[in-house]
Amino acid sequence: MLGQNEQNIKKRMEGRVAFNKILMVLFGMATAVGLVFLVLLFYRVLTQGIGYLSLDYIMNFPAPYPEKAGIYAGLIGSVFLMIIVAIFSVIIGVATAIYLEEYAAKNKFTDFIRVNIQNLAGVPSIVFGLLGLTFFVYMFNFGYTLIAGGLTMALLILPVIVVAAQEAVRSVPAEIKEASYGMGASKWQTIARVILPAAIPGILTGAIIALSRAIGETAPLIIVGAATAIYTLPDSLLAKYTVMPIQIYNWTGRPQEEWQYVAGAGIIVLLAVLLLMNSIAVLIRNKYQRRL
């Protein structure tokens, strides 16, 4: 049947092959759009900011003069904030994922909760900021403090962590769970000794990606009152604080051109911290995967 009309088949085949090539070029161009802008971003930030980047810049508090201004308060504030966010969001997120995947009855209600957690991950961050303002700042009366900001951010990334942890827990092979139950292990023993060790790479990767999102967030923190210029480091959970994105945002809003370069230097520091966190995620993942 194929031999019947060799000529025709060849012709159509050529059409398909050509179409495939066109698509390849289009997809390649789509990828290039992203890459080009990323390169442009890096170029702009590096050329503008690198001149102001120095050890002094990293170790200085904000100052009224561009050449004396530094990101120290923002850097340390961001690190402290991330520690709080990580503790609350990872513990609550993983516990939620374990409950939903291993303990909760498989019914419509559980499915409903599951879908809505995924929806929550898409809620604009500003909404979480308002939530944080209502609950943590006013109701719990924390004021504009580190803990209020940390808890707000923890809420913001909680859905992302829950979803990532759920996927990690779900991907643990049923065979090894059965092996554990088959020896008389209780559910918790199986979770602690079999499921979590196998799920940790996935959980940590998800958690660090979520934290990377949180470290760059500005909107919710503006609402829950991160300061824009402080000259001390937060010394308690109830201290004032600032974070890098807010500091950068504040500098970019100033009229003098020099401040743009100061902001550029801040973006470099922020990107460096982000890169560091992502590398840690990759390292952890590789370390655990090799053990499997």
Partner 1 sequence: MNKVMEEKTNKNVNQGTKKPEVKKEGIKKENANSIIEVNDLNLWYGSDQALYEVSMDVPEKQVTAIIGPSGCGKSTFLKTLNRMVEMVPIVKTSGSIKYRDQEIFSSKYKEEYLRTKVGMVFQKPNPFPKSVYDNVAYGPRIHGIKKKEILDQIVEKSLKGAAIWDELKDRLHENAYGLSGGQQQRVCIARALAVEPDVILMDEPTSALDPISTAKVEELVQELKEKYSIIIVTHNMQQAARISDKTAFFLNGELIEFADTDDLFQNPHDKRTEDYITGRFG
Q: Which of 47, 116, 189, 256 binds partner 1 (CB under 8 A)?
A: 189
CA distance linking residue 63 with residue 55, whole number of Å: 15
Q: How many CB atoms lie within 10 A of CB 182?
A: 8
Residues 106-125: x where in contact with partner 1 by CB under 8 A, - otherwise, as a string: x-------------------
44-52, 139-147, 155-163, 176-184 -> range binding partner 1 (CB under 8 A): 176-184
**Contacts by 103-107, CB closer than 8 A, 24 or more apart:** 103/187
Residues 230-269 that bind partner 1 (CB under 8 A): none
Looking at beta carbons only, is 79 or 179 nearer to partner 1?
179
Do residues 248 and 33 lie in contact, with contact meaning Cβ atoms separated by under 8 Å? no
Two structure tokens written together for 167: 């996927």
Q: Is 186 in the site for partner 1 (CB under 8 A)?
A: yes
Do residues 53 and 265 lie in contact, with contact meaning Cβ atoms separated by under 8 Å? yes
Q: Is 24 in the site for partner 1 (CB under 8 A)?
A: no
Q: Is 278 in the site for partner 1 (CB under 8 A)?
A: no
Residues 198-227: x where in contact with partner 1 by CB under 8 A, - otherwise, as a string: x-----------------------------
Two structure tokens written together for 5: 């009309």
Closest CA to 165 of 121, 130, 127: 121
66-74, 76-84, 117-125, 180-188 -> range binding partner 1 (CB under 8 A): 180-188
Do residues 38 and 47 lie in contact, with contact meaning Cβ atoms separated by under 8 Å? no
List residues near partner 1 by CB under 8 A: 105-106, 173, 175-176, 178-186, 189, 193-194, 197-198, 291-292
